[in-house]
Amino acid sequence: MRPDTLSQVLRSAGFVLLALWCVLAALPVAGASDEDCLMCHSQADMFEGAEQAKRYVVTHESLRGSVHGPLDLSCTACHAPMDYPHPEQRTTTCSPCHEDVERVYAKSLHGYALARGNRRAPTCASCHGNHAILPSSNPSSPTHKVRLPGTCASCHGQAGLLTDQLVRLPQSFQEYARSVHGQGTTRGVAAAASCADCHSVHDLKGAADPASPINPLNVAKTCGQCHPDIQLEYDRSIHGRALAAGIRDSPTCTDCHGEHFILSARDPDARVFGASQATDTCGRCHDDPLIIAKYGFQEGVVGSYLDSYHGWANRAGYGRAARCIDCHTAHAVLPKADPESSISPERIVSTCATCHPRATANFAASYDHRSASIVANPVNRAIRSIYLWLIALIIGGMVVHNLFIINYFMIKRRKEHTAADSTVTRFTMNEVAQHLILTVAFVVLAVTGFALRYPDTFWVRFLAALGMSEGVRGDIHRGAGVVLILISCYHAWYVLATKRGRTEFKALLPSRKDFTDLVENLRYHLFRSQRKPRFGRYDYSQKAEYWALVWGTILMAVTGLILWFPTTAAKFLPALAIPAAQTVHYYEAWLATLAILVWHFFFVVFHPEEYPMSWTWLTGKMSRKSAKEHHALWYEEELAAAEETAAGEARDRRTEDSAG
């Protein structure tokens, strides 16, 4: 007998045996009948409050409407015969009719999980239902192609789905639902890929299994079920050839397009979108130092593209600018040495001509990754070196020239401020020293603090080259913090324990006049008033800055100590206090730094009346003219009175001398 004839005979015999089983299963057996079962299980109210109550409710209608209805199967065909009352946990099996499917299921990931006792593992009923089982061709069936993603989502859409070993599984349904495939099934497009199209039906296997359709070696074939032409291109490409040769680093479909979150190439969120192609797709391999070193790829190809007109225009959103795939193609990517490659000497001119119709061989040779690269191209490298020296010499000379001029005016301003007959004492040298120490501590803290947060910036790399490692940076930062705390404590003693300090402190207290001065000052500088406000010893801007400094110093000191000694802080504070202290410390540092740059530097450096710099912070002296203009009340109330007293004393001495 021929093999094909034998096969037909065996297949026919199998059908006969299956039909015989169905007939026998439909015959009544000893014990409870179907009517006895339905007498209870057709009453929904009998199972109220039970876990998964719906699975216990069975009606004649649900049985007749199911795929098993025409077979007239008895309850005991699936449920082992049992007497009433029967145990709550009953054994059911589909193997008498679906033995081949159960055998396949047992070898799948789901079957493996069930065999290990994982209660989360799906069974036949989890996907097909319990009694009202419909064929997959029925649009109402949970295994219908359009409805299948929702069925799989009952497990794979839950946040925190775990295996029996507490391995967290991906929340793949959310990504699939937003993909082009998921959007297609949502609209009822039967051709759109559903879960079973990629993962198979019952024989689900992990990506590490060589027989799995989602194994990297098989992904192209799986996608090729719907995209056969693209699969052929990919298989012939250098990526497909490399993967077939066992190079697992070579990308397959999902490496470029994603696994479940596959979007149209026109979608800005897609991995293969034009503006992000070089960095997010091709650059993942061709800009990876390990991959480049491992396979001897040309370095800097992504950087040279991004630093070209094509790269600049693409990042600006210009859709007509060439992307990686415009030169190398999307799927039929081949090396330059292959005559079929789009960048081979035989084809490069026609490739360029797709955007530049009048392209010639000389034009095509004017741009590639090597010629565009400053590092790889010796001409570009020489030009860069020349210009770096020109910039250093010319711009450096300009800086030196301008520094001479600024220095002249700074010295001139200092002479005006320090002339004995034209200055008044604004600050004592004690106060000048306090401010100077505070300034140094603040600058060091800002530099070393932001160096931790932004280690890749050029100035941090420069400091690292000079020897500022993380250990050194941390020690300097903490040392400056100690200096800040000590000078703050000294200042607190100074303003509370000395007569001069108490006088200064009272002058810095906010008053109602500060608000009216603010309005008056803005009106004056907006040309809405001719009257200039008359400030006391400290105006509203100086008071605001002083109290902001007090508040900021306390906040930075407290949070800094928490971060310095976190284990000690955790004994007294809630756990959330430590990360909260880090957040406060960071953003308060930004607030303080920007306030110094924008507010303080304006009034002492960039203000038109102070530029190029006020020398008061170093000498403690202020010109009489400046005192009269900016602090008229202070000058009149304190300095004029002091001058009058001094003049009276001088007159008295002259009188005494005359009398003598």
Domain ranges of the chain: 1-92, 289-376, 441-643
Residue spans of the chain under pLDDT 70: 1-32, 51-52, 82-91, 158-162, 164, 416-421, 640-660
- Taking the CA atoms of residue 34, residue 36, residue 39 and residue 44 in that order, the dihedral angle to the nearest 10 degrees is -70
The sign one gets for the Cα dihedral 326, 329, 333, 338 is negative
- Taking the CA atoms of residue 388, residue 394, residue 400 and residue 402 in that order, the dihedral angle to the nearest 10 degrees is -130
Query: Quick check: 595 and 548 in contact, CB under 8 A?
Result: yes
Q: Distance between CA atoms of 258 and 265, rounded to whole angstroms?
A: 12
Take residue 277 and report the two structure tokens written for it: 């192609």
Give the CATH fold of the 441-643 domain. Fumarate Reductase Cytochrome B subunit (1.20.950)
pLDDT at 6: 45
Question: What Å distances lie between residue 213 and 181, 207, 547, 602, CA to CA?
Answer: 17, 8, 68, 67
Whole-prediction pTM value? 0.68
Query: Quick check: 614 and 435 in contact, CB under 8 A?
Result: no
Q: Distance between CA atoms of 605 and 349, rounded to whole angstroms?
A: 59
Take residue 412 and report the two structure tokens written for it: 């001139």
* DSSP designation for 116: T
Question: What Å distances lie between residue 462 and 390, 429, 457, 466, 467, CA to CA?
Answer: 21, 36, 9, 6, 9
Cis omega before residue 612 (within 30°)? Answer: yes
pLDDT at 653: 67
